[in-house]
Structure 1
């Protein structure tokens, strides 16, 4: 009797790959709802505010008095005014049109500012270094504009742009009007001596009284920065650039130099940090600083807060925060491909289990085929079940009829037709058995000739 064959691996393997595919799908969908977010802590900046303008000591005359002054002269400078400009360049930008300019000091309260704006006959009004005229206000947008405005009080670029707009003239070309020079040996010695002794140099005329310690610690954690405070520099003269020279004398040390309300940074990460800190600080507070009279300590404290915020953004000398390993996130890009592979494997394995025509039996003579199918029927009868009984019974009946046809010498085609019917019935019965290998085509192929 032929051996009994267990089900081959593909039968259980296809269900295994289907289970894996289902598991992958559940994991993938679940990962869409969860994530690990790691960010930097809040900046420890001290949140210095300069939104409220400090009360100034300067004042302005009445609207009528200022209107009379501006009618009498094309340029009126009120006591305490700090703005200056290149008159020839401004006249050229105006295209020959008459320009009357009223210059007021910084630090005016709101009522005083309103009086300046109400003056009749003034083409341009300047409060501190804030330039306005008509419906327009001219503001700096580059580091060169802010440097000239806050380091020296030079508003030439702002005035040129405004008067050109008011008189429908072409916009003047943008130029850096601030000339720079290296500090002399004597200047550098005086500054470095103070820095080595106290870490701070305050020149005559500067208003810095102390460095805000909390803001400085937040801006430059773990490092002792050096500070130089200078008054607003004379317009039209080269301004000494202390930063690079001091950075060479104090390597790997943050250097902060103030020229009036203009602040420059040199030292570690200066190439990217200085430009970013300048843009964020003066882009936000430039208009407020231009019309106000803040002491240098307030200006420096707010700048250091902005520097701390920039550093806490993770752009400079700060390691990325620890991010715990998430295996699901790491494997997530591969999960759709694994799911697809499992589905394809399941379909391929399932295709082998789909009912298909019985394999063709080898070419046997009618008596040999009758003997083979009879032996198969005998073996299957020992394994029969309720599901396979009807087909097996019909198959045996056909085999008995085929045997009688051969014994009675009936035509061979009639016997073969009966055997074909018997083989079909046995094939149907074999599909209900708990073992493979009993389909007629497989059985007759294994049977010895």
Structure 2
């Protein structure tokens, strides 16, 4: 314990021997440095783009295989066709609707519908939209009329549209909007059925052999391997079916296959509709599907993208959602950044440095006012008081305090010589401050609080 007290006393004595002015200005410099670092870290960079992004500048229509082979007549020919028939379906059209509900909504009004195939280029779309006697124009499944465009905004609506080409809800919404009528209530008319054993057997055999099943009529030629490799933690099974006939129940392959292999990730495609079944489906499948079709639905409904492109984009969205850290995938590695970690503490470090500088400045000013009057007029009195204290302490100290006492006497002698030589008061104050620290250490070693310099000098001056 004695050695510990000696070490602590030595550290305290060393701290007191550091000139207060030096410590004060060091704290001020540290505060300025911290402030500069903090302000530089707040810089914000601004990048301005005027539409010359290299990733989009060369992306021309048709480069992703989204244009089909169908063609449309001239605007004049389509106008004649619409004038002769209230519903005109051009070759290749895929949109379907509940004719009974649509006829009931139209009533006795003359509302004519023009249905064009998906995958038209810009010039062909302009020809379709120029048919003025068509109150409702459908390109692919994009349904518009006048100034309105109607589209689903939830998963049941997107599923019916992209799996079977159902645009019933969109047509009813347009009719109501054009005639200031109440909007129709949302309905999920898509029906499902359990796949039969004969239907399920070839699908299971293909999945167990190759991990994929592509039904006749589907447009998938190969899996998007890169996207498939990052979407799930383990390789998934893929069942790819063509767009399903409107009005007939769909085979619910997802739940049936999930019962057979509950731990196996499973992706099912019905035309342009993609859904996920398997581990974690309750957590992220709805998030991934909603964000995907909310962003890409407008393109999918008017173009004829191959299923490979649609599946690749969907798997890319699954990867993004899972790598957000919300679900079972870890966050991407982020290198340790000391500044990012320390940045919240910099204002507190700055405040501590400023507080230390202010405290030391107040102490210096108070010490100067008490024992060192302006111009050095109080320095001789302080020198005399410290000299008297050194004499009294010399009678009490032992081998432990002798070194500090000798250093204090040396500083006092140097201060007297500096006063006699007329040196600047600042220099004399520094010497007296050093002597004060040494004498304070001696008083602490001899355990005499009354002989600490500040206490002794206050009593002497009083």
Residue by residue, what CA displacement relative to the aligned partner does 1:178-213 show, whole Å, maximum 9, x if unpaired? Answer: 234444454434322221111111223322222222
* Residue 270 (structure 1) aligned with residue 281 (structure 2): yes
Indicate the residue corresponding to 2:353 in structure 1.
339
Which region of structure 1 is more displaced relative to structure 2, 255-264 or 53-62? Answer: 53-62
- 1:283-337 deviations in whole A, cap 9, x for unaligned? 3332222222233223223333343444455554023414326274474353134
Q: Say whether 1:213 aligns with 2:225.
A: yes
Q: Does 1:253 align with 2:264?
A: yes
Q: Which residue of 2 aligns with 1:235?
A: 246
Q: What's the C-alpha RMSD, in Å, of the aligned pairs?
A: 4.2
Q: Give the Å deviation of 1:247.
A: 3.4
Question: Is residue 360 of structure 2 the alignment partner of residue 349 of structure 1?
Answer: no
Asked if 1:72 corresponds to 2:84, the answer is: yes
Equivalence for 1:29: 36
1:223 partner SS? coil
Shift of 1:224: 1.3
Larger helix share, 1 or 2: 2
1:318 is aligned, of 315, 324, 330, to: 330
- Offset of 1:132 from its aligned partner? 1.6
3-state SS of the aligned residue for 1:355? helix
| Cα separation, 2, equivalents of 1:138 and 1:151 | 18
Is 2:313 aligned against 1:302? Answer: yes
TM-superposed CA distance for 1:251, in Å, is 3.9
* Map of 1:363 onto structure 2: none
CA shift for structure 1 position 259: 0.3
Between the aligned partners of 2:133 and 2:430, the Cα distance in structure 1 is: 109
In structure 2, list runs of 5 or more residues that go unmatched.
Answer: 1-12, 43-54, 373-384, 392-411, 423-427, 437-452
Partner of 2:162: 150
Flag as ranges the 4+ runs of structure 1 deviating above 6 A. 430-433, 436-441
Aligned runs of 1:20-419 on 2, under 5 Å? 20-34=27-41, 52=62, 54-94=66-106, 97-220=109-232, 223-311=234-322, 315-316=326-327, 317-324=329-336, 326=338, 328-329=342-343, 331-332=345-346, 334-356=348-370, 387=419
Q: Which is greater in Rg?
A: 1
Distance 1:89 1:207 in 2: 32
Gaps of 5+ in 1: 1-5, 36-45, 359-372, 391-429
TM-score normalized with structure 1 length: 0.69
CA separation in 1, counterparts of 2:276 and 2:183? 31
**Cα distance change of structure 1 residues 288 and 443 upon mapping to structure 2, 3 Å threshold:** closer
- Kindly tell me: are residues 186 and 323 of structure 1, through their superposed partners in 2, closer, same or farther at Cα, counting changes over 3 Å? same
Decide whether aligned partners of structure 1 residues 344 and 59 sit closer, same or farther in structure 2, where only a CA change above 3 A counts: same
The alpha-carbon deviation at position 248 of structure 1 amounts to 4.0
2:31/2:354 contact within 8 Å kept: no
